[in-house]
Amino acid sequence: MKLRIKIGLLTTVALGAAVLGLGDFPGMVQPTNTIVAQAATTINAKHQGMVGDSQTVNNAALQDMLDKWDSDDLTVHVPKGTYVFDAGNIKLHSNITFKFDKGAVFRITSGNRVNFVYPSPEAGYDGGISNVKWEGATFQGDNTSMGQSVFTQSVHHASNITFDKCVFDNAESPTGHYIDLDGSHDINITNSVFTGFNGSQDFKEAIQIDYSNKKAMSYKNPGDQYDNLPTYDVKVNKNQFLPVSKKSGQVKSYAPNPIGEHAIYGHGKAGIIHNVYFTNNTVVDPKPLMDDGVATIHFKGISDLWITGNKFINKHVLGSGNYIYLYNSEPDYNMNNLTIEDNTFTNVNPTKQYIFLDSSDADNPMTGVSIIGNKATTPKKRASFVKSNFSLNGDTIDIAKNTIKKAKATKPAVSTQRPITNTTVAHSTSQKLKKRKQTNKSEKYYSGLATQHAQLAAKYKTYAIYNHIRGHKNWNILKFNWKSIKNKRVYIDMRANADTGKWYRIRFDKSTKAQKYWIRKGALKFDTFKSESYDRTFNLMKVYPVYTRPFNDPLLAKQRGTTSDISERRVTITHRVKRTDSNGKVSTYYQMDNGLWTRALAFDLDS
């Protein structure tokens, strides 16, 4: 057994059960504090009563285990399994290392919340616990009709805290954070993944850098002492902040806002947040934040900040007003040494600017500012890269080599079909076709999206399949075996009105290269659409296709780009349509005042 001996600021490790005396250190001045011996102990969580069967509640078992070895230098081995937790608080102590096997998961569900509490019975930077490490941990929640399930790390006056190769999955509080750092220091968060945020307070971040103040705490632990000390020395490196996505790739829950803070306590008399490193991380599809004074990354009153080497990417979500916002609210404090370098911004598309520097007193500018070598790629150049409310020409401000490059335009997925005049459609039969004269005096053709679809109607077998609409030049009925049809869905990319009736061009495979046929409208069963006038104004939030009609409308819709092509983010809605498909699933579409339609999911319906 190893014994860890703490003598003042000196820590030594001895083998065996003997405790070293002070005489073993010649010339050393005798300390006044007591020698504390701590055994290095490794335990298996399952052997100590925890059960990873996806059903058994583990709150008491975990707390009893930690309390039993509260004076030890403890390593907790968590074997593979899903360990369910109920609502409650787990109090940690110093000198714990959690080591999770691959497939070992802490799970919270049913709208419950667990706080991992880092107690601080005394004030000061040494008032809390130290030396806690999580290796390979997965904290998994969910968002259901019962509410958002939550895991929170409430870290107060703690030091030397590490999260490495951890996963925080769909478990952030709508009004709070994954990791709440209050008056703490020497924090390392590396190689970890943070997913999902359904915030009712949408400016909250996954990692909050904050102060020792009761108002700042995610969990107010009884007996904790507060002193407004700022957090410092935080390193967040090589992490990913990702959305929870649907099978289609669209965003179900936004990515968390990665890092930041929004308050200063006591006007910074006990100190200001400093020495924060946000480096080499990836952020994909965070929620657009449009209000003044907010941004995806926001710091208020900070010095010695490094935001470097990160990748900021939007795929299915529109951009915020500002992406990075640094704000000095204290006229007597100088924000200094602010470095934002070598980051890439892909399709972020802010409506204001990428970076905004804001000082409550324009005569108190930020100093030591270095914004260099950042690269943005965007479909449309709308925003400046850096703006401020003070001069950026100071001797200690270096802004250079930041580029905004226009991305190559991509063609929207619009059908390339054109109205047919005098052509015929190939067919898979081998019978000899008649050379018919055109008998229709009127033929009008309308093209649409190639992905739209309908179901075959109940009596579809009584209808004939044509190479072209009846009455067109060289029209023919084709020999067709209905028994070869594997399902009743057909894809439509064109319709026609003629003297002989209403027609649709169909294919039996989603591929646009599949054989195409013409059939009468009566052979098809379309989704149902219920339309109503609707007068509301919403903010566009997500990237969705924009159509001339609701998708799958029997009159066929054409795509007119996406919501990212709309310059105004605040949009007035004039009509609402609820579409019900053959399975009874309802989708809602809104018509904007520009006449175009898109999914209701593209909007912030709470705005």
Domain map (residue ranges) of the chain: 1-34, 42-242+250-287, 289-410, 443-525, 528-604
Cα–Cα distance for residue pair 383/385, rounded to 1 Å: 6
What is the bridge-based pairing of β-strands 517-520 and 501-507? antiparallel
Regions in the chain scoring below 50 on pLDDT? 1-37, 412-428
CA-wise closest residue to 151 among 75, 201, 86: 86
Question: In a 3-state reduction of DSSP, which class is residue 321?
Answer: coil
The β-bridge partners of 91 are: 117
Cα–Cα distance for residue pair 261/212, rounded to 1 Å: 13
Residues whose CB is less than 8 angstroms from the CB of residue 304 and which lie 6 or more positions away in sequence, other chains included: 274, 275, 276, 336, 337
Sequence letter at residue 291: D
* Token pair 């014994």 in the structure block, residue: 3
Longest dimension (CA), the chain: 115
CA-wise closest residue to 206 among 143, 129, 286: 286
Report pLDDT for 341.
98
The β-bridge partners of 579 are: 529, 587
1-22 core/surface letters (b: 16 or more CB in 10 A; e: else)? eebbbebeeeeeeeeeeeeeee
Count of other CB atoms within 10 angstroms of residue 28: 12
Sequence letter at residue 140: Q
Cα–Cα distance for residue pair 106/168, rounded to 1 Å: 10
Question: In a 3-state reduction of DSSP, which class is residue 263?
Answer: coil
Burial of 588 (0-12, 13-18, 19+ CB in 10 A): middle
Reading across the β-sheet that carries 443-456, which strands appear in turn? Answer: 477-478, 465-466, 517-520, 501-507, 489-498, 443-456, 524-525
Torsion angle, alpha carbons of 103, 105, 283, 190, to 10: -80
Handedness of CA 18, 24, 25, 31 (dihedral sign): positive
Report pLDDT for 391.
93
Question: In a 3-state reduction of DSSP, which class is residue 245?
Answer: strand
How far apart, in Å, are the Cα atoms of 103 and each of 83, 140, 233, 264, 447?
11, 12, 31, 40, 51
CA-wise closest residue to 565 among 405, 415, 379: 379
**Same CATH fold, 528-604 and 443-525?**
yes
Report pLDDT for 380.
80
Handedness of CA 358, 359, 365, 370 (dihedral sign): negative
CA-wise closest residue to 74 among 97, 100, 57: 97
Question: Which tokens sit at 604?
Answer: 């912030």
CB 441 within 8 A of CB 550: no
Looking from the CA of 553 toward its CB, the CA atoms found within 13 Å total 21
Report pLDDT for 484.
86
Question: Which tokens sit at 287?
Answer: 């929620």
Burial of 281 (0-12, 13-18, 19+ CB in 10 A): buried
Report pLDDT for 14.
32
pLDDT tens digits, one per residue of 23-82: 332 333 333 344 444 678 999 999 999 999 999 999 999 999 999 999 889 999 999 999
The β-bridge partners of 187 are: 161, 234
Tell me, which fold does domain 42-242+250-287 have in CATH?
Pectate Lyase C-like (2.160.20)
How far apart, in Å, are the Cα atoms of 271 and each of 206, 231, 263, 301, 331?
23, 9, 13, 10, 15
Cα–Cα distance for residue pair 330/268, rounded to 1 Å: 8
Enter the DSSP assignment of 67: H
Q: Class for domain 528-604, per CATH? A: mainly beta
Question: Which tokens sit at 412?
Answer: 């929207």
CB 311 within 8 A of CB 281: yes
How far apart, in Å, are the Cα atoms of 79 and each of 42, 74, 193?
13, 16, 20
Torsion angle, alpha carbons of 64, 1, 33, 25, to 10: -170
Report pLDDT for 409.
60
CB 271 within 8 A of CB 302: no
Q: Quick one: CATH architecture of 443-525?
A: Roll (2.30)
* Token pair 């060289």 in the structure block, residue: 474
